[in-house]
């Protein structure tokens, strides 16, 4: 080990020896510009900032009114009816979200392959990506108002389809990214057996990408439940439609019950779906390596 | 039978992979290609099934031209030429049997797209697993197997193709020495049983000498040695590697001798 010890001792600070700090003008101007933009926005936006101080009080009143509804005996009239009505609409919202996700999954599946650079030729990738970009740029609310409601009329079908088309944009994009991240070596091995292109995709690419893609579908289902609640406000079915009616009539106790159900069901489904997603990605059973690590821990 | 006639391969980056290689490998021979990294061993092997396109020259496998072959012709050629890789290249999220059945994809009807295979195809896959001694692992997820077992699955996948030629690109470079020996022995045994023409790239000269019928030494894209394994001595080694043999060049070297 001759190399150790042959290095001469550090010479100590000699002028011009130590590197100088680079000029920080970029960071400084960046921070200044950001600060100016923030101040400008706060000043020019037409908001009554003074009302912000009244907000906690008002919110408190509404919360008290709403909790009163939730705390009433649900077995007594008319609260039984309130709970069951809210539950009925919540189930409709879930159905909308589920159908919407299915539609999105089916439509986005081929789109994801067409948009993946390691699978499709460049022009196809370009065109597919642009279509997906356009879909992603349109909020579900606009899809529902401008396209689905005029065609399918008021009701949950319009909402479900708006969610479905909206899902294609994100699912197609994220799915194509999963496909592009696939390990190319097994794919090469399948191609080397002389398999046809479609077989290479089905057995080299798909088994690697499918767990992540299914997890994306479930994640989108969680998003669609929340998005669906908003769609009801424009008459596209689900829990949102009853909520708007209640707000118009200012029936605070019923609003409380309905919101409580929305939150409870959403949290429950989120938790369930997240668990299934993790299980899918980690795979069933224990990996030998993971098992070993656990044994050591 | 594999024939190279003055084959050149130049990569898009300008790197020369093969620089005028002429080589004839008769039916049923077990040839090991040795050389430094970048000598063109991988390029030589990968040119045979068209994974690397030939720039000029002629390359024939069993009378079928590889250079210029595309589409269906190339697929039929690949179906007859199995390949084993350094990293095993299994689809680790599916079972061992599914991986082996991938060797049947080019032979079976469209139903195999959905994983539906005939009884005959399944029997071929089971037979292939039996030949490399891991029949009991058929329904285990490939990710659960050790490196040596995974490479045996890859050999079984190749056998399921029922090929006339097998290529192996550094098949044991990711394995520990005893496992490397065992996997090479498996490969050599089934190769003898079935009489498959086989071309293998190897790092270790001792492995090459103990398993090969014939050794081809490469340096800078050219063949610098071609002869029976018994003829390889220190002088030949120097011509291939540009230096004399040292302990690093044999797989069985003990760790304490290296440090």
**pLDDT tens column, A47-94:** 888 888 888 888 888 888 888 888 887 888 888 888 898 899 999 999
A2 belongs to a structural domain: no
Cross-chain residue pair A202–B76, CB shorter than 8 Å: no
A31 belongs to a structural domain: no
Q: Is this structure's pTM higher than 0.90?
A: no
ipTM of the complex: 0.88
Cross-chain residue pair A189–B144, CB shorter than 8 Å: no
Is A127 near chain B, with CB under 8 Å? no
A56 belongs to a structural domain: no
Give per-residue pLDDT as tens, A93-128.
Answer: 999 999 999 999 999 999 999 999 999 999 999 999
> Which of B78, B105, B162 best tests the A interface by mutation, with the highest count of A CBs <10 A?
B105
Q: Which of A11-15, A29-33, B86-90 has the lowest mean pLDDT?
A: A11-15
A63 belongs to a structural domain: no
Any idea what the CATH number is for the domain that residue A186 is in?
A: 1.10.3720.10
Other residues' Cβ atoms within 10 Å of the Cβ of residue A58: 10
Task: Quote the number of domains for chain A.
Answer: 1
Cα–Cα dist A262/B66, whole Å: 64
**Cβ-defined contacts of A55-63 (< 8 Å, 24+):** A62/A252
Give per-residue pLDDT as tens, B139-175.
Answer: 999 999 999 999 999 999 999 999 999 999 999 988 9
Nearest-by-Cβ selection for B113 from A202, A207, A208: A202
A35 belongs to a structural domain: no
CB-defined contacts A:B, below 8 A: 83
Residues of B in contact with A203 (CB under 8 A): 91, 94, 98, 102, 105
Residue A288: predicted pLDDT: 44
The chain-wide mean pLDDT, for chain B, equals 89
> Which of B85, B90, B93 best tests the A interface by mutation, with the highest count of A CBs <10 A?
B93
Compute the nearest-CA separation of A36 from chain B (Å). Answer: 49
Cross-chain residue pair B106–A283, CB shorter than 8 Å: no
Nearest-by-Cβ selection for A189 from B76, B85, B144: B85
The answer to whether the CB of B115 falls within 8 A of the CB of B200 is: no
Cα–Cα dist B107/B79, whole Å: 8
Give per-residue pLDDT as tens, B52-72.
Answer: 999 999 999 998 999 888 888
| pLDDT over 50 (residue B2) | yes
Residue A109: predicted pLDDT: 96
A257 belongs to a structural domain: yes
Nearest-by-Cβ selection for B78 from A192, A199, A288: A192
A125 belongs to a structural domain: yes
Residues of A in contact with B78 (CB under 8 A): 191-194
Residues of B in contact with A188 (CB under 8 A): 51, 85, 89
Phi, psi of B21 (to 5 degrees): -100, 125
Nearest-by-Cβ selection for A195 from B83, B98, B106: B106
Give per-residue pLDDT as tens, A137-183.
Answer: 998 888 888 888 888 888 888 889 999 999 999 999 999 999 999 99
Domain span holding position A229:
74-296
A40 belongs to a structural domain: no
**Cβ-defined contacts of A264-268 (< 8 Å, 24+):** A265/A90, A265/A94, A265/A225, A266/A225, A266/A226
Cross-chain residue pair B78–A198, CB shorter than 8 Å: no
């Amino acid at each position: 080990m001759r190399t150790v010890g042959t290095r001469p001792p550090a010479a100590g600070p000699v002028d011009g020896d130590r590197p100088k700090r680079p000029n920080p003008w970029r960071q400084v101007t960046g921070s200044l510009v950001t600060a100016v933009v923030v101040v400008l926005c706060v000043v020019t936006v037409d908001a009554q900032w003074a009302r912000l101080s009244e907000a906690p009080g008002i919110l408190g009143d509404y919360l008290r009114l709403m909790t009163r509804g939730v705390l009433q005996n649900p077995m007594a009239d008319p609260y039984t009816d309130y709970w069951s009505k809210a539950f009925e609409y919540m189930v409709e919202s879930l159905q909308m979200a589920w159908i919407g996700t299915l539609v999105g999954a089916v439509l986005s599946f081929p789109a994801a392959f067409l948009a993946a650079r390691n699978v499709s030729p460049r022009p196809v990738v370009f065109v597919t990506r642009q279509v997906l970009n356009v879909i992603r740029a349109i909020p579900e609310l606009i899809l529902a108002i401008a396209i689905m409601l005029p065609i399918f009329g008021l009701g949950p079908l319009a909402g479900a389809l708006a969610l479905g088309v909206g899902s294609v944009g994100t699912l197609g994009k994220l799915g194509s990214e999963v496909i592009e991240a696939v390990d190319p070596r097994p794919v090469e091995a399948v191609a080397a057996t002389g398999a046809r292109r479609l077989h290479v995709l089905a057995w080299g690419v798909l088994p690697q990408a499918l767990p992540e893609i299914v997890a994306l579908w479930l994640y989108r289902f969680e998003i669609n439940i929340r998005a669906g609640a908003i769609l009801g406000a424009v008459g596209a079915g689900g829990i949102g439609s009853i909520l708007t009616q209640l707000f118009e009539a200012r029936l605070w106790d019923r609003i409380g019950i309905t919101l409580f159900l929305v939150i409870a069901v959403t949290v429950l489904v989120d938790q369930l779906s997240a668990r299934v997603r993790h299980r899918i990605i980690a795979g069933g059973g224990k990996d030998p390596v993971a098992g070993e690590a656990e044994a050591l821990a | 039978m594999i024939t190279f006639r003055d084959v050149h391969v130049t990569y898009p980056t300008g790197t020369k992979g093969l620089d005028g290689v002429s080589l004839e490998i008769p039916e049923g021979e077990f040839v090991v290609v040795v050389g430094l990294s970048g000598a063109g061993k991988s390029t030589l092997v990968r040119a045979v099934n068209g994974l690397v396109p030939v720039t000029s020259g002629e390359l024939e496998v069993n009378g079928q031209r590889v250079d210029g072959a595309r589409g269906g012709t190339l697929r039929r050629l690949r179906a007859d030429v199995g390949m084993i890789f350094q990293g095993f290249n299994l689809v680790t999220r599916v079972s061992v049997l599914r991986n082996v059945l991938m060797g049947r994809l080019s032979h079976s009807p469209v139903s195999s797209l959905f994983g539906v295979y005939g009884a005959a195809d399944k029997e071929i896959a089971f037979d292939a697993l039996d030949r490399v001694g891991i029949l009991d692992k058929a329904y285990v997820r490939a990710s659960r197997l050790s490196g040596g077992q995974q490479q045996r699955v890859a050999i079984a996948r190749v056998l399921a193709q029922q090929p006339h030629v097998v290529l192996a690109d550094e098949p044991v470079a990711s394995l520990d020495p005893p496992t490397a020996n065992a996997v090479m022995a498996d490969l050599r045994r089934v190769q003898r049983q079935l009489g498959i023409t086989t071309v293998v790239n190897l790092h270790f000269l001792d492995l090459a000498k103990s398993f090969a019928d014939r050794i081809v030494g490469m340096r800078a894209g050219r063949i610098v040695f071609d002869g029976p394994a018994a003829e390889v001595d220190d002088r030949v080694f120097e011509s291939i590697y540009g230096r004399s043999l040292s302990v690093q060049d044999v797989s069985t070297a003990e760790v304490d001798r290296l440090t």
